[in-house]
Amino acid sequence: MVDCVIAEDELLLRDALIVQLAGAWPELRIVAACDDGGSALEALAAHQPQVAFLDIRMPGLSGLDVAGALAEVSPRTEVVFVTAYDQYAIDAFERGAVDYLLKPVAAARLAATVQRVKARLASATPDPGMLAALLRQLGRELPPPARPEPLVWLTASAGTETRLIMVEDVAYFQADSKYTVVMTAQGEALLRKPIRELLDVLDPAMFRQIHRSTIVNLKAIASVARDETGRGLVRLRTRPETLAVSQPFMALFRAM
């Protein structure tokens, strides 16, 4: 069996790809099907799969971000990018010897991709240098994602009060069941929005995901260190607590 991680934020496309892969590659075992880049990064670190199908555009970490961390997180994983971009980006994929699938995924194209990936798995290990060069090129050639204007302020509940909070004053966001804890220097409040939805509206230059359940304001970070077990820890300027950094996300901090 060949283990595989799939990352695609659109449910219908993700389910369709799972069904298509079951027919085109019966020996493939899908160990994780993720709807965002952060979950994909953690799944790759946990499962060390031979293959990953990564959507280029996802909330928070993109498929390119995830692929860029593979050298440290899961170095033996072959990448297949899933993309809606046409020929000008396809040339870059082909020069980089990395497989790609255009949305919607055609059966014939998927069959050809499966055969090429099988051949690479049988003959060699992935070349991190080649993948890194491709990612740099794609970063120059692909248009930036269409994003709404970054969130400037939000309303959150603190007991019986509703607070107006400027986003720049938030030290971090942390998932809490169906809600999100908003932590500032003054204390915590609850936001009725799941953390995954915040990834699309926060300024990526200001906020960084450090765990599947935690997003931190980069301006609020005093230091990033490791404890005696090797786990990453973020110390904050305005809060006494430390935040755990999921091991796969440490690779992203080193790339900053």
Supply the Cα-derived Rg of the chain in whole angstroms.
19
Convert the pLDDT of each residue in 128-148 to its tens digit. Answer: 666 666 666 666 555 566 666
More confident residue, 242 or 230: 242
What is the model's pLDDT at position 167? 95
Tally DSSP H helices, then E strands, for the chain: 9, 15
| Angular region, 159: left φ>0, alpha ψ -120 to 50, beta rest | left
Residue 191 tokens, joined: 């936001």
Convert the pLDDT of each residue in 163-175 to its tens digit. Answer: 999 999 999 999 9
Spatial CA neighbour of 195 closest among 177, 182, 180:
180
What is the model's pLDDT at position 98? 67
Residue 34 tokens, joined: 């993720």
Q: What is the pTM of this model?
A: 0.79
pLDDT exceeds cutoff 90 at 5 = yes
**Range 23-29 average pLDDT:** 96
What is the model's pLDDT at position 59? 80
Question: Residue 21, SS3?
Answer: helix
DSSP string of 85-116?
--HHHHHHHHHTT-EEEESSPPHHHHHHHHHH
Residue 186 tokens, joined: 């003054």
What is the model's pLDDT at position 94? 59
CB-hemisphere CA count at 13 Å for 197? 7
